Each structure stands twice: as structure tokens, then as C-alpha cells.
Amino acid sequence: MAFLLRRLVFYMAAFIAAATINFFLPRLMPGDPVQIMFSSAGTELPPESLQALKLTFGFVDGPLWQQYLTYLGSIFTGDLGRSIKYFPLPVTSVLGHALVWTVGLMGTATIVSFAIGTLLGIVAAWRRGSKFDVVVSVGAIFATSVPAVVTSLIVLFIFGFTLGWFPNGYAADPSLDPAFSLQYISSLAYHGILPMVTLCTVLIGGFTVTMRNNMINLLGEDYIVMARAKGLSDRHVMLWYAARNALLPTVSSLAIAIGTILGGSLVTEVVYNYPGLGNILYQAILARDYPVIQGQLLIMTATMLIANFIVDVSYVLLDPRLKGA
């Protein structure tokens, strides 16, 4: 328990540090979105409306330290301001709607990729040196070397444009009204196949290589030799002796992979015009919607920290030596 409390304090400090950077970076840039909006309006807006615009979007003049304290208070109260591009919607509403799509896409891709990649790594390590091991290892290394944007464009070009098997964009058929119906759910699944294939292609290779290396490092251990000497079946030794112990470092790689998943998801959503956080961030950057950009970066930071904390909890559950730490 003490170990988890120390880690929790560390992650809280890391979140505040990230929020601080998130606050100061946009303010180091010349001007602000309100001044840009006011300047682009030309003579259509009177000068006195500038202050009203600042009040509307939360850009209040004052000492920087006071703005910083107000900003920290708004984070922990859930008030991230109002979006400039999607005004008058609050940032929490804009990002909350997009978060549902991203979590659905990322969550499914992570579970599928982790299961397939781990299984391939286990079998490849157990049959190391075989044709299966060579094909899987080379394919995994190649998949991890290709950037997500390249994979997205290749998959979209082959299966979307050339073969025409799947739609080229959107999360569902735009002509359908969102509803809990078989037709709409089928449309969601059909439109999500290409983004899912893209993310799984990017992720499976990393999980495969990590699990294979962990397994190979354990296959020469005494308890593996003893299990084989007892006459246990290869499947039993592979899964319950080798794979179970090799899974611990793989769990830690899952938290590291969250960064890859987030980056790949952002690019994939833009390529497929998927209504997730990646597409929202892209649109916000084009519109210089600083409140949405800041909120998005906070969500990404919180996701990474929460994922690492979950891994720490998993470590305590999987490694008895940490329970008394």
C-alpha cells in the first residue's frame, strides 16, 4: 500500500507539472485567439467588444500568477472554458463527446492487439528458430518500424479506394440517425474496420517482440527445466510456467504503448475523418482554439499517468514482493 501511495503522489506531481507547461506554452506565443478573431473581423466589431470577447472566452487580463491559479482551479473543478471553434459549447462537452469515440476505438484495438501480439510472441519464442518464428519476428519488426500515418494511408488506399471493400471515412453512415439499433451498430462496426486494422497493425508488432524476448529470457531458467523433467506437456509449461512469468514485463510495456496508441489514434482519426479526439485536436489547431488544445493535452497526460498507475497496481498484484513495500 505504501508503494502505491508513493506512486500516486508522484503521478499527481507529474500531472501538475504537465498542467503548468500546458498553461505557459500558449501564452508564450504572440497574441491570443481573441485578438486574432477581433483582427480578422476588421471594422465589423467596435473596439469596446474586445474586452467582452475576452470575458466570454475566459481570457481575462491580470497578473500571470493569478491567471495560473485560476487555471489550476478550473482544472480540478472541471471548468476548461468554452471552445472558440464550437462556441458556445464548453470544452468539456466537445472533448467528452469525442472521447467516447476515441476510447471505443483505442480500447478495442488495445485489447485485440495485446491478445494477438502476446500469443504470437509466446508461440514464436517457444518455437524459436522455426519458420513461424522467423516470419512473425520479421513481420513484427517491420510493423513497428512503419509510422502510423503511412500504415493508415496504405490501408485506406488498398481497401478503401482501390478495392472499395470498406468506406473511406466517418464513424457511421451519415444518413443514419444515431440510435441503439442493429442497422446503426452494424454501420459503426463496418466503418470502424479500417481504423481498427490500422491501429492493430501498428500495435501488434510491439507486443509480439516484447513477449517473445521476455519468453526467451526465461526458457533457460531452472524451474522451466524442472517442469519439463516432470513430464508436463509443452502447452502446460509454455502457458503456466514461462508465459505467466514473462507477462509481468509485458504489462509494463502496455503502459508505454499507450503513448503509441494515442499518437496512432490521433493520426488515424484524421486520415479516416473519425470523430474522435485526434480529429478534434486537428480542427482546434487549424482554428487556434487554445481552450480545446489545452483540454486535449490534459486528457492525453491524464491518460498516460492513469495507465502507468494501473500498471503499478498490476505489478503489486502480480509480484508478491511489492505487497509489503
Task: Express each pLDDT in 71-123 by its tens digit.
Answer: 777 777 777 777 777 777 788 888 888 888 888 888 888 888 888 888 888 88
Would you say residue 218 has pLDDT above 60?
Answer: yes
Amino acid at position 235, single letter: R
Residue range 169-183: mean pLDDT, rounded? 74
- Give me the residue label for grid cell 508522484: 10
Per-residue pLDDT at 40? 56
Cα–Cα nearest to 85, from 236, 272, 296, 262? 296
Q: Which three cell numbers stand for residue 7?
A: 506512486
Per-residue pLDDT at 273? 82
Query: Where are the domains positioned within the chain?
Result: 2-77, 91-318
Per-residue pLDDT at 323? 54
pLDDT higher at 28 or 213: 213
CA–CA separation, 298 and 290 (whole Å): 12
Per-residue pLDDT at 46? 63
End-to-end CA distance of the chain: 7
Cβ neighbours of 253 (radius 10 Å): 18
Q: What's the chain's average pLDDT?
A: 75
Distance of CA 309 to the CA centre of its chain: 15
Per-residue pLDDT at 316? 65
Asked whether the beta carbons of 291 and 91 are under 8 A apart, the reply is yes
- What's the CATH number for 91-318? 1.10.3720.10
CA–CA separation, 289 and 83 (whole Å): 6
Range of lowest pLDDT (18-27, 128-137, 256-265)? 256-265
* Percent of all residues in the chain with a pLDDT value above 70, rounded to a whole number: 71
Per-residue pLDDT at 151? 82
pLDDT confidence bin for 21, thresholds 50/70/90: confident
Residue range 60-66: mean pLDDT, rounded? 67
Residue range 267-289: mean pLDDT, rounded? 80
